[in-house]
Amino acid sequence: MTTSKKEVRPFGARDRFGYLFGDFANDFTFVLSSTVLMKFYTDVMGVSALVIGVLMMAARIFDAFTDVIMGQICDRSKETPQGKFRPWIKRMAGPVCVASFLIYAPYFADKPMAFKIIWMFVTYLLWGSVFYTSINIPYGSMASALSESPKDRQSLSTFRTVGSILASMIVAIVLPLFCYYKDAAGNQMISGTKTMIFAGACSVAAFVLYMLCYGLTTERVHIAKNSEKFSLKVLLKTVFGDKSVITIIICSLLLLLAQLTSAAMSNFIYPNYFGNAKIMAGASMAGIATTFIIAPFIGKLSTKFGRKQVAFVGAVIAAASMLAAFIMHTHNVGLWIMFTVIMNAGMGMINLVIWAMITDVIDDNEVRTGVRSDGAIYSVYSFARKLGQAASSGLSGWLLTAAGYTAATAFDTGVVNSIYNLTCLIPMAGFAILALVLFFLYPLNKERVEANVAALKEKHGDKTNA
């Protein structure tokens, strides 16, 4: 059961910007890993792309346990004067930032292969499966505690996405400008030492931003402790017995598969296919700018048409742009950037509403079951996002290996043409299937979301800040 706290500061810009800083911090390490980890370990550390992909996917099996455990801890924890979820941000900010930095260790490049693989796996597991989970699950669940108002929650979704975009923008611009150099043959290569320095800077920035998130937000909605005995059967029923939960999980997996594959492959297509790593910074800036341009309109579009419809149109736009790029198979980098800008516009439409869609799902589940399960549902959703990350890395690693990509063959004509095709086809397929799932399976249209809001207002009393 949720009830609003009394005598607290009203929800406002401070909460929105505080919540923005939280995902700004999250994605300094998450986007860095998704973007450069495979390139770093193949080209600097000499590890096979296939091995990297397999290890990333294996780590996600461990996440099935850590995400659910953290979700249960959140739901069953007692409220403190600082809130139920916010304290976790302060506790885990340091460990997640240190673990992220340790992943990138070029000073081990000459060590035996077994040592490098073990180092990569252990540090990646500590960062993603333990520490990132222990801060990201409470952070995501916290949205329900900041305000009960659907309007406020949509603004949190938008601001969270802007925070993510800011981190993505910095990584996308600085990484190619700072971390790449030309070798004696004129090939674009990544520097292990500079990548490590950049990872350290990202970790420091993330820690500062986590502290800003903690200091600026206020939990004003009381979410009662779940005192029921944990039951795996009940949890599985909550997930697989609820169409809205299972479809949002599928949507998340597909979105991350498409989005992160595109980001990861940028580190191969620009230096290897187009022969220009530095232009990746401008291309990324152009793509990210489109999300900022459309962000002010998403709230109004969501109110008029519903978040489901906005996300569907975005998925169609993104898939169509990558299909056109594949058909044309262009060597004109300007034309390629145009296609990616269109893809980013569609992807931005989805990202700007997806976090509010999670709260819609949590509300719908409470209406159906009578039990509020923010932590449990968000933990499963977070696990789906990590599966999308792993699927992207695993599939990309396997396909790069199948195409014959190694440090020695990185600039061969057949290999770079395969890189181009992969960069188009994997995101295209992800966005296309996502559009189909949203259109045919996802049940929470505008009318049903509004009905759920009305039902919960009647249940808890109209105590929102709307």
Tell me what pLDDT residue 465 has. 39
Strand, coil or helix: 109: coil
Cβ atoms < 10 Å from Cβ of 409:
12
CA distance 89 to 176: 30
With a cut of 70, say whether residue 256 has pLDDT above it.
yes
Q: E strands, 231-342, where?
A: none
Is residue 75 over pLDDT 90?
no
Return the SS3 of 76: helix
Q: Is the pLDDT confidence value at 229 over 80? A: no
Angle in degrees, 0-180, between the axes of helices 374-402 and 232-240, rounded to the nearest 10: 70
Give the pLDDT band of residue 206 (cuts 50, 70, 90): very high
Q: How high is the pLDDT of residue 7?
A: 64
Q: Yes or no: say if 369 and 238 are a contact pair by the CB < 8 Å rule.
A: yes
What's the number of CA atoms in the CB half-sphere (13 Å) around residue 339? 24
Is 28's pLDDT higher than 60? Answer: yes
CA distance 449 to 269: 41
Q: What is the pLDDT of residue 56?
A: 78
344 burial via Cβ count (<10 Å: 0-12, 13-18, 19+): buried
- pLDDT tens-digit profile of 339-385? 999 999 999 999 889 888 988 998 898 888 887 777 778 777 877 77
List, in sequence order, every residue forming a beta bridge with 416; answer none if it has no partner: none
- Give the list of residues 6+ apart from residue 141 with CB closer than 8 angstroms, or none: 71, 74, 85, 374, 375, 378
Query: Mean of the per-residue pLDDT values for the chain?
Result: 86
Q: Which residue has the tokens 């090939």?
A: 187
Alpha-carbon gap, residue 384 to 133, rounded angstroms: 12
> What's the maximum distance between 2 C-alpha atoms anywhere in the chain?
71
Residue 426 structure tokens: 């994997």
What are the structure tokens assigned to 324, written together? 């056109």
The number of angstroms, rounded, from the C-alpha of 134 to the middle of its chain's C-alpha atoms is 15
- Crossing angle for the helix pair 307-328 and 413-440, to the nearest 10 degrees: 160
> Which parts of 377-448 are beta strand (E)?
none
- For residue 440, is pLDDT > 70? yes
Express each pLDDT in 130-165 by its tens digit: 999 999 989 988 888 898 887 888 789 889 888 988
Size of the chain, expressed as the number of residues it contains: 466
Phi-psi region of 286 (alpha: psi -120 to 50; beta: other; left: phi over 0): alpha
pLDDT for the residue 401: 82
In whole angstroms, what is the distance from residue 245 CA to residue 364 CA?
9
* pLDDT grade for 103, boundaries at 50, 70 and 90: very high
Residue 307 exposure: Cα atoms within 13 Å on the Cβ side: 27
Structure confidence by residue, pLDDT tens digits, 375-422? 778 777 877 777 777 677 677 777 788 788 887 888 898 999 999 998
List pLDDT tens digits, range 160-185: 888 988 898 899 888 888 998 888 87
* Pairing verdict, β 188-190 and 180-182: antiparallel
Amino acid 319: pLDDT: 98
Residue 343 tokens, joined: 């893809």
pLDDT band at 1, cuts 50/70/90?
very low
Is the dihedral angle over the CA atoms 326, 332, 336, 338 positive or is it negative? negative
Q: How far apart are CA 338 and CA 232, in angstroms?
A: 48
334: Cα within 13 Å, side-chain hemisphere: 0
Kindly report the pTM of this predicted structure. 0.70
Higher pLDDT, 451 or 226: 451
Judged by DSSP in three states, 361 sits in helix
- Least confident window among 94-103, 231-240, 242-251, 441-450: 231-240
Tokens 């949720």 — which residue? 2
Contact (CB, 8 A) for 25 and 161: no
Phi, psi for 2 (deg, rounded to 5) = -120, 135
pLDDT over 60 at 334, yes or no: yes
Torsion over CA: 94, 95, 101, 107 (sign): positive
Hey, what amino acid is at 82? Answer: Q
Tokens of 131: 């520490």
Compute CA 342 distance to the chain's CA centroid, rounded to the nearest angstrom.
20
